[in-house]
Amino acid sequence: MAAAFNKILIPVDFSLNTELAITKAAGLIGWEESTLHLIHIIKGSQRSATGFLSQEAETALKVWVDRLAVSHPAIKVRIHILHGASVQKLITSCASMLKPDLIIIGKQNNKRRWLSLKHLSPATLARKTNCPVWTAKPGALETRTRIIVIPIRDSMPDRKLEWGVLLARKFKAQIHLLAIQQQAAPKENGLPQIFLRAYHHLREHLHHPIEYTSVTRRHPAKAALRYAEKIMADMILLNAATESDLSGITGSRHISDLLTRDSKIQILDLQPYN
């Protein structure tokens, strides 16, 4: 199972976000020989001080390299310092080039002179790079993943099921399948059959009991979040954008924006297979 976590990319802003993401990454790859790519973006508006900031950033990144060399000596760490105005575009380009197995984002609304990651869209990143994106808030820093929620809608969620099996084995976690029925959906749709296929797939690959339930909701992201909060789940696996983004008057928001700073619920955005 460790093969799925051989290469992890982490956007770094030198806040608690960085500690959170690196802690999660180290817990995933453990002592296996793997590579962490730490990427820091320097804003284009800071061009006049770019040389000084690059040196500062490199020094700060090397602190993490040294720390990981002590705590996880088998992990290789590579640092990347990029310059530009768009964090989203630069991280997307870097991920497309490095082709990591996973991207981990620590997310909080911090106010620092370093570039904040609060405007980075996990769903867009997952969709454009085809790489799973794991998002966590500071409340998840010390938590272990014990309960995973997988929403089931109107198509077979093959990639979510694969990652559900992977993470359930890695953490010895329990999976809860959540069938989300649209309020106006006709009775002859394929959800029951898809739900049963998903359930049997998990039963074939896991020895843990599989919990399941169904709800009727208009917004799948909100339905999954409410259910996860109800059962005190630690992670939700969602299709990028179609399940993890919420549209509103002020524009689109990621489901992680609904989580409080102390929430332990983590989101994994996955681009479905074509």
Write the DSSP assignment of 192-257 as a string of letters.
HHHHHHHHHHHHHH--S-EEEEEEE-S-HHHHHHHHHHHTT-SEEEEETTTTTEEEETTEEEEGGG
Condensed to tens digits (0 to 9), the pLDDT of residues 114-166 reads 445 656 899 999 999 999 999 999 999 998 899 999 999 888 999 999 999 99
Condensed to tens digits (0 to 9), the pLDDT of residues 94-128 reads 999 999 999 999 998 544 444 456 568 999 999 99
**Radius of gyration from C-alpha coordinates of the chain:** 19
Domains, the chain: 2-120 (3.40.50.620), 147-270 (3.40.50.620)
37-59 average pLDDT score: 76
Q: Which residues neighbour 253 within 8 Å (Cβ) at sequence distance 6 or greater?
A: 245, 246
Distance CA 213, CA 193 (A): 14
pTM for the full model? 0.90
What tokens does 31 get?
């002592």
Among 201-205, 242-246, 268-272, the range scoring the smallest mean pLDDT is 242-246
Q: Which residue has the tokens 């994994």?
A: 268
Render 79-95 in DSSP notation, one character per residue: EEEEEES-HHHHHHHHH
Pair type for strands 266-270 and 133-136: antiparallel
86-100 average pLDDT score: 93
How confident is the model at residue 186, as a pLDDT?
A: 55
